[in-house]
């Protein structure tokens, strides 16, 4: 919004007066609240209105940063990342507004490069809430710059040496969310490391090493279809009860579900990808009635989400069978209040009416439509 956009022709002196009036009338906090939902292109235009507006707009523009670079033998250095870090270092007020800093380095033609430029990145990363990368990253020895990290995601880290990753995780006192999707090696952290961790996503082996003694409430397990009883028992040693368990990134057999019910029975929400795709296709979802005795071990379970389970007839649902399953499972697990089936149909228990109803995405009820659970698409 400039002088011409307002429909008024102003000279330079009058523009300065307008600049001063707006700066005096609106504090930075108010401007930030007004500008927060503007697109980057609009923020760039807003930055040209006045010095004060430029400062607020730039602060917001640097609150969410995504950098993706391809490294090659001819260009092995991530110059865009360096320039961004240098800008943040030169303008320290920008660092205070950072909410997400996503760095992605890709190797050209599958080649592997291990860049040694930790000093430059060290200068520009004072408070990054998220720092995922697709190539090995050499973390600086000084730990003070990572004390405010809240969300850490490291993927595609390849041959990341154990000592480097362990040291990095040991210096994250404020980290609340940790994601290590493709790291599977043993890890041993200091007892006082990650004291604020509330959620973890990664392999069962790493989860078993990280969860004990930490206040993790949400767990996403990735990869292995088999988890040892020892690993499961260690996952149960969190300092507060585990509440949310997501197994949508692995195939869960009835045996694994049984073992989970014996060790992680405090969960309130359970998201599962069952390894019964072809069985359900031919036998129908009535087969899932056998889960009742397993669900009965989850004393606090309120939500059961089976939507990740792929069935060839997904989209067709037998409402009578789904309703029967909801009732059967609730008899075994009285705390159950919400169920999502492989058909993507969601059912919710209405306390006032004491009945299960099928719920649309918007929260309204719908009249159940009946289909045969054995019906094939196109038949």
Could you tell me the pLDDT band of residue 75, with boundaries at 50, 70 and 90? confident
Contact 203, 222 (CB under 8 A): yes
> Minimum mean pLDDT among 37-46, 96-105, 130-139: which range?
130-139
Could you tell me the pLDDT band of residue 73, with boundaries at 50, 70 and 90? confident
**pLDDT tens string 333-363:** 999 999 999 888 999 999 999 999 998 654 4
Q: Rounded mean pLDDT of 31-50?
A: 89
Contact 51, 28 (CB under 8 A): no
Q: What pLDDT score does 358 carry?
A: 92
Could you tell me the pLDDT band of residue 320, with boundaries at 50, 70 and 90? confident
Residue 90 CB neighbour total at 10 angstroms: 10
Structure tokens at 178: 């940790």
Q: What pLDDT score does 121 carry?
A: 42
What is the rounded radius of gyration, in angstroms, for the C-alpha atoms of the chain? 26
> Minimum mean pLDDT among 114-123, 158-167, 268-277, 355-364: which range?
114-123
**pLDDT tens string 95-128:** 777 777 777 777 765 544 444 433 334 333 433 3
Given a cut of 60, whether residue 94 has pLDDT beyond it is: yes
Q: What pLDDT score does 26 carry?
A: 78
Could you tell me the pLDDT band of residue 319, with boundaries at 50, 70 and 90? confident
Q: What pLDDT score does 162 carry?
A: 66
Phi, psi angles (nearest 5°) of residue 199: -145, 145
Q: What pLDDT score does 360 carry?
A: 66
Q: Could you tell me which residues come within 8 angstroms of residue 259 by beta carbon, excluding any fewer than 6 positions away?
A: 227, 229, 232
What is the DSSP track for 218-275? EEEEES-S---HHHHHHHTT-SS---EEEEEEEEE-HHHHHHHHHH-TT-SEEEEEES
Cα separation, 156 vs 5, whole angstroms: 48
Given a cut of 70, whether residue 37 has pLDDT beyond it is: yes
Q: What pLDDT score does 148 carry?
A: 67
Provide the β-strand partners of residue 248.
none
Provide the β-strand partners of residue 359.
346, 365
Given a cut of 50, whether residue 6 has pLDDT beyond it is: no
Task: Using a pLDDT cut of 90, give the percent of the chain over it.
Answer: 33
Q: Rounded mean pLDDT of 161-177?
A: 82
Reduced to 3 states (helix: H, G, I; strand: E, B; else coil), residue 376 is: coil
Cα separation, 151 vs 41, whole angstroms: 27
CA 306 to chain centroid, in Å, comes to: 19
Count of residues making up the chain: 379
Could you tell me the pLDDT band of residue 222, with boundaries at 50, 70 and 90? very high
pTM surpassing 0.85?
no
**pLDDT tens string 181-191:** 888 887 899 99
Cα separation, 233 vs 256, whole angstroms: 13
> Minimum mean pLDDT among 67-71, 110-114, 203-207: which range?
110-114
| Mean of pLDDT over the chain | 75
Q: What pLDDT score does 301 carry?
A: 96
């Amino acid at each position: 919004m400039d002088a011409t956009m307002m429909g008024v022709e102003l000279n330079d002196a009058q523009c300065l007066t307008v600049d001063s009036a707006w700066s005096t009338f609106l504090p930075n906090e108010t401007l930030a609240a007004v500008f927060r939902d503007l697109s980057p292109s609009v923020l760039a235009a807003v930055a040209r209105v006045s010095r004060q507006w430029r400062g607020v707009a730039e602060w917001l523009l640097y609150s969410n940063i995504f950098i993706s670079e391809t490294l090659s033998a001819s260009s092995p250095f991530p110059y865009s990342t360096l320039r961004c870090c240098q800008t943040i270092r030169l303008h320290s007020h920008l660092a205070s507004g950072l909410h997400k800093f996503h760095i992605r380095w890709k190797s050209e033609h599958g080649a592997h490069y291990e860049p040694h430029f930790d000093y430059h990145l060290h200068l520009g990363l004072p408070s990054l809430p998220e720092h995922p990368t697709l190539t090995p990253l050499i973390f600086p020895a000084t730990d003070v710059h990572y004390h405010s990290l809240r969300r850490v995601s490291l993927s595609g880290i390849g041959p990341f040496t154990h000592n480097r990753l362990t040291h990095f995780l040991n210096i994250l006192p404020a980290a609340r969310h940790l994601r290590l999707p493709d790291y599977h090696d043993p890890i041993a952290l200091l007892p006082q490391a990650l004291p604020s961790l509330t959620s973890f996503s990664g392999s069962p082996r790493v989860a078993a090493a990280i969860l004990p003694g930490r206040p993790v409430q949400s767990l996403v397990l990735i990869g292995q279809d088999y988890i040892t009883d020892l690993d499961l028992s260690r996952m149960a040693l969190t300092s507060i009860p585990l509440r949310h368990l997501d197994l949508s990134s692995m195939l869960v057999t009835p045996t694994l579900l049984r073992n989970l019910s014996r060790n992680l029975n405090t969960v309130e929400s359970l998201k599962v990808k069952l390894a019964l795709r072809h069985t359900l296709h031919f036998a129908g979802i009535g087969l899932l009635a056998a889960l009742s005795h397993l669900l009965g071990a989850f004393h606090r379970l309120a939500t059961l989400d089976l939507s990740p389970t792929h069935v060839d007839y997904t989209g067709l649902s037998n409402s009578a069978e789904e309703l029967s399953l909801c009732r059967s499972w609730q008899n075994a697990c009285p705390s159950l209040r919400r169920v999502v089936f492989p058909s993507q149909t969601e059912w919710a228990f209405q306390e006032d009416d004491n009945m299960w109803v099928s719920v649309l995405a918007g929260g309204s009820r719908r009249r159940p439509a009946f289909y045969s659970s054995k019906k094939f698409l196109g038949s």
